[in-house]
Structure 1
């Protein structure tokens, strides 16, 4: 059976004529024309369109998402959407070249009443569509000339660019009028998933979702299961249960209110699902989590230490609702026996509990472990735990296993991965945080909050802590804990230090050699492109505030110290020489801190009508490299390596 959804022809002759009338009677302002080469490693994700836009893509195969609709593009594609739409372009193999035309349409006073009546029937400026144009080469030429004229900045050239916009609109409507066009194929499974993620709290009819793509409900179900591995119904239940759990843990709403908000038919339905998936009632789940939150909220001064002789009524919520309880005990041996027994029970019985990956469970505090077998003893500890080395750190000497098997890392995950070690546990990403460049390497790692109770459940034999040393004291009572003062170390120093901790010295040499070669190749590429003396400004920019990075910033250190690119004189004197991490610069004086090129960090935005911003030469000539948070938030060597590749490729394209 044909398993792809067939798009419907939605533009009737009457609609096309009406839309042409609206365009004719409206005042259209061309705001900007941009070009971007999007590579698979750094896709365009969730870009909020500041105005209505035409997006023309060509080159490799890609997935284009506009709000909740996902299109599949093979060679060419033309997409249109309105202001505020979320745009994502994800290349599947080769890079995808993209032109973006930003425009704004307003009604004239003369035609205002009649025009408003037409727009109420169909609004072409917010209309969402994607198709393969009948003459993609002609459109490519128009977009190229449109951008060339717009970037020259002269009134006559920009007038010509606007004329190309009208030619484009006419060509699009002629394609619709002929009716022999190929719409970009929607991906029903991905679009259905996005729809369920957004509307799980509402009554859902799967057939209505299928109708959006002109396919049967059974066909949508097969496509969804093939894509996600689960049925539509099971996925919807999972999303509703997650919402209910969140409500039970973090609100005081009644069970009935939570059931309604989460999309369940009634309170009984929520009870039935909780019994099925968690083997407990929603009320029990709330009580267990309330107790756990009470333990977490106790003042630090009153915490019981993990190696003290007593743990009083500690109740720990574990995984999907199971709980491990340690009652009052008088002897450390009793506590350890209870802890080990409970960990073994949970490992054997609970769904999703991590299996021991070869190392011996290290539930005994680090202070009680010995390096070698004591003279006269009759038993010998397992090799992975008993053989240790001493590592000198800023927190003092720490004994670590020679061959750590269950490593938990909170920040420098890319360094550990680069050395050939896949962590058992990694710090859970913050809400809204983009996936790191090594996301596909940690799919089997358990994401946890770096809290003592969560870490205990993993039974680690080594913890690597770098983000903050506030938890060091508590975590070091669970397993040997290494604090890495990453901000005070160069990349080379940090990799050598972590390799000593993991006993991966040979791997470190190979990693650093490859990294050094990448740096040297980048410098040579810059030299050949005439960029060695170019001035580069790095920062986060918006209408309200601008933060210019110095050489202490992760990206600043990479660009200024390692790649040895030049900073503008004001950035050098006011920020770098002053040994500042950031410089808080107002928009009025920002031009004095900008160079030939700008590296735009994060997801900020500057309005298109900001006169000061538009007067900056790097902005005027579109010499801006946008770096998302996945590449700018961490200093680990895998992220830095990917960032070098990205910055080099983008600057070389802009320098042509």
Structure 2
């Protein structure tokens, strides 16, 4: 069965009927049939398909990439793509047998207008999909006979080969119709990397990449970080910096032109990234590399021999980046220090006045004209950079104030407060009044509805939106608006992200360190109390209905994923493993879902007079922990921290 990642490949019965109709009425020309043994040491890479193609791979595990989508194949895989698609096949074992069928489709004059209308709905000749056939051995036989007949070259044999093509199409659509096939699942992390490598110079919306695979932005982030060891944003910045470094070394473009060409919002953003990663400005980087690449020089005492290509013997490469000068080894650090000293000396000599610490002077007038326009001095550039920063979000790049003073927060108030920022305006937290764990920190904050008209009256310089994005476009016209897809982010990802938004990176690290320490202390306390192996059930219980929480619920995520407490087997298989937020369980079967301890979420009364309820061992032994709305409605780190204390203290008290 296909999962959500393959949702974009599912064909409805109406679509299948339309595609079959188009195939029936179109003129199909079989162009070629080929076979290739693709070896792991010689993979097929970026083959541009000259026509529409079917590719059948078998005999081993492989990674099949078509355009920017990478599929994982186990033993058999049928892939289809249109003309101009880029195909790559990388076997994971020794080799993979690969059949390729090239064909061309044309519309007959008689049905042309009708078919063109259908092609606007769905075009089967350019569709991209991959799946494991229901009868892979039968398809293997068809492809072998198709290739044999085609290679014989006789008209009758090639006619038979074409008949197998139609049998193949019929078999594929029958598989689609059954709905029981397994689609080749795209590898979102690999495909996202390919996409970023190709489009890094353009504005990137990570959610759009995630939408290609039918998954959330948070899922894509987690998959990418697991595979690449860094976040999507970190990889994108790295890719853009690499491009900027290349242009700084090898072109004479201005800093502004290089910033734009590398995908940065402006030269200020490029300047900030260079200061962060290289501890120098782009201009300094350019000057240092220009000197390090220079192979000729002037020596007043002697001249080196000229060997047609360059002056010989002045500087020779030694090991990894070290250099020898006049026969003595110098480390990279010493070379860099000497280079910087030389630059300062040349600058002072060229100006005829003592060097000014407030800026740098370029000794090359031509270069000065091109490169110093966006950053006359480091001090001025720093002041310009301090005004705004660019944050990449699922909604695109957003410029935010470097030190926001008037922040309005929709939902994750506790995260913002934990980072040392008191919001000007808060929404939704007001519903819990003084019961919210951060209530004392927001006594001066203005409680508003998150409607554009109300927000506008506060004249904010930053809006943090997390509950829903229906007002995002209107709010973003009032002030820079950051949308936090909190349900798709781990606590660590979310705090780091909000820390970047508020320019509170160090505070974010400290908050997360303290939070991680609290969780470890809690787990140790539970272990010492002999509670490591007990089972926990949480939910909202009443006479009418019982909603059992899974690991996606705020409390469930904390208990099951954070504290590593165990769920009863029925809760695990029916709710957690199926990725449900809640499970609606009737009172008659409730006992099968109840663990050693119960956590009653919300402010509703439990069904104390119900016979089934009273028969539960957890109820009989009074092992029920009540978690009110103030501790269960939010996922912010302050509320989660208070929730840990509440649950652990209650469990320890009951164990004693």
When the two structures are superposed, what TM-score results if normalisation uses the length of structure 2?
0.46
Asked which structure has the greater CA Rg, the reply is 2
With the length of structure 1 as denominator, give the TM-score of the two structures: 0.46
